[in-house]
Amino acid sequence: MSDLFDINDEMLLFERKKWDEGIKFVAGVDEAGRGPLAGPVVVAAVIFTDHTQIPVVNDSKQLSAKKRELLYDIIISTPGVLYNIQEISHKIIDEKNILQATYLGMRNAVIALTNCEFTLIDGLPVPNFPVPCEAIVKGDSKSASIAAASILAKTHRDAIMVKYAEKYPQYGFESHSGYGTKKHVAALKKYGATPIHRKSFAPVRDVITPPPEQLELF
């Protein structure tokens, strides 16, 4: 089990820079589920400190589901770790658009961590962020805090979609988590949209209201 905490120092370069500046509470923020046609986008924020025993983490997309689930449990149970997970529903995604919904989740996750002093964000800058921050492209492979957030967000969202699969078994949410796979699109065309589908996304919108060129085929 000890090798699970032998973190590569390169994954802590961004955090250590801030710790050395006297900033103790540095959060990493990442999301899961921007691309799917159904379900929420989930955002997580994780704070390690320079006194935390930090688990070996990596970009969630590079890990198996089993490894993500193991690390999820380790992260949330590690003494000294602070975290928050936000679910932004398909309804808000349709109201605001997916980018603004993701930004909302990131802001809310950090606000919920009331002692957060600085945030490392995966990807591009987020406007009107509530605390000082730095955006890091591919940050989930460069920062332990962001990687941990990506693991929490992905694992949490996958669990949500497995539950939806029980409610809507014909769509196969347990296997594709709502992404636009051939199987999912075929089910969408055959059975129509569920209440959890993102109606503003083109493949779903076109099933609900077929464009004129499709109507002419019938």
Q: List Cα–Cα distances, 12 to 37, 123, 140, in angstroms.
A: 34, 17, 12
CATH number at residue 46: 3.30.420.10
Amino acid at site 102: T
The answer to whether residue 77 is domain-embedded is yes
Residue 191 lies in a domain: no
Q: Domains in the chain: how many in total?
A: 1
User: In this predicted structure, what is the pLDDT of residue 8?
Assistant: 67
Asked whether the CA dihedral 146, 147, 152, 158 is positive or negative, the reply is positive
User: Can you tell me the distance from the alpha carbon of 139 to that of 29, in angstroms, rounded to the nearest whole number?
Assistant: 9
Domain membership of residue 202 (yes or no) is no
> Given this model, what pLDDT does residue 1 score?
46
Residue 184 placed within a domain: no
CA-wise closest residue to 153 among 102, 107, 85, 215: 85
Residue 170 in tokens: 């014909």
Instruction: Give the range of the structural domain holding residue 28, as residue numbers without chain letter.
Output: 2-169
Going residue by residue through the chain, which has 218 residues, state the pLDDT in tens, using 9 for 90 and above: 445 555 667 899 999 999 999 999 999 999 999 999 999 999 999 999 877 788 878 767 878 899 999 999 999 998 889 999 999 999 999 999 999 999 999 999 999 999 999 999 999 999 999 999 999 999 999 999 999 999 999 999 999 999 999 999 999 999 999 999 999 999 999 999 999 999 999 999 999 988 776 545 44
Helices (H), the chain: 13-20, 65-77, 90-96, 98-112, 144-167, 173-176, 182-191, 202-208, 212-215
Residue 100 lies in a domain: yes
